[in-house]
Amino acid sequence: MHIEAELDDVYAERLLELQKHTNKPLPQLVAEMLAKAIDETPAPMETEGQKVLRILEAHQLLGCMEDDARLSVDYKKHLWGSP
């Protein structure tokens, strides 16, 4: 991949100083810096639904209960009795 970037004078100086200090080619140095930044990026926060799903799966509770297979359709009948 080819990346072209324009840096302000301060960052350009800092990058050139780092290159001199490490004695590495600029493309290698930038690639290492990007890899480190990507690796250190935290994973996205777990949503409440993902957390519940993870816990249910960890305790093998998904699909373990027997009940009316049409519960998602006729749940009101189960909550308030037959209409």
**Digit-coded pLDDT (tens) for 31-62:** 999 999 999 988 889 999 899 999 989 998 87
In a domain, 3, yes or no: no
In a domain, 1, yes or no: no
74 and 52 part of one domain: yes
What domain range includes position 62? 48-80
- Residue that is written with structure tokens 């009948």 in the block: 77
The encoded tokens of residue 35 equal: 């890899």
Confidence band (pLDDT; 50, 70, 90) for 25? very high
Q: Do 56 and 63 form a contact (C-beta atoms < 8 A)?
A: no
> In whole angstroms, what separates CA 7 from the centre of its chain?
29
Domain count, the chain: 2
35 and 55 part of one domain: no
Whether the full predicted model's pTM is greater than 0.75, yes or no, is no
In a domain, 4, yes or no: no
Rounded Cα distance between 15 and 26, Å, is 8
In a domain, 20, yes or no: yes
